[in-house]
Amino acid sequence: MSEDQDRWRRLDVWKDADELAFQIYQATVSFPKEESYGITSQLRRAAVSIPTNIVEGYSRAGDKELRRFVSIALGSLAETKYLLSFCHRLSYLNDPQYQRLVVLAAKVGKRLWKFYEKIRDE
């Protein structure tokens, strides 16, 4: 693919969302094995859905499609935040891990919402 086709790679919101997904994948490696098809899988899918929906929306034709996929990414972010909290309550994430991921999720949320508002008004 040409750089023009991968223009989403230049988006700070995508970079942050990608980093959040990466950090969550790293954090969930230590989750209990019996959770492999449960909470581990659910949290990973929700987290990776954020950057992948940005990519898919950005790769479609038209702002309406982009808005729809960014809206889905916002929903996936909300799911991710809940699952992080739930995993912390289960002690699958220690306090420093949880705090680091929550701060990063909040950063993604702010950028994603600003991005959504920008494309919503176009």
- Report, as an integer, the average pLDDT of 30-52: 97
Domains of the chain: 7-120 (1.20.1440.60)
Q: Considering the entire predicted model, what is its pTM?
A: 0.92
| Contact call for residues 17 and 107 (beta carbons, < 8 A) | no
Q: What is the DSSP letter of 93?
A: S
44: which residues sit within 8 A by CB, 6+ positions away?
Answer: 21, 24, 25, 28
Per-residue pLDDT reduced to its tens digit, 63-101: 888 999 999 999 999 999 999 999 999 999 999 999 999
As given in the structure block, the two tokens for residue 72 are: 């889905």
Taking alpha carbons only, the member of 101, 79, 92, 80 closest to residue 33 is 92
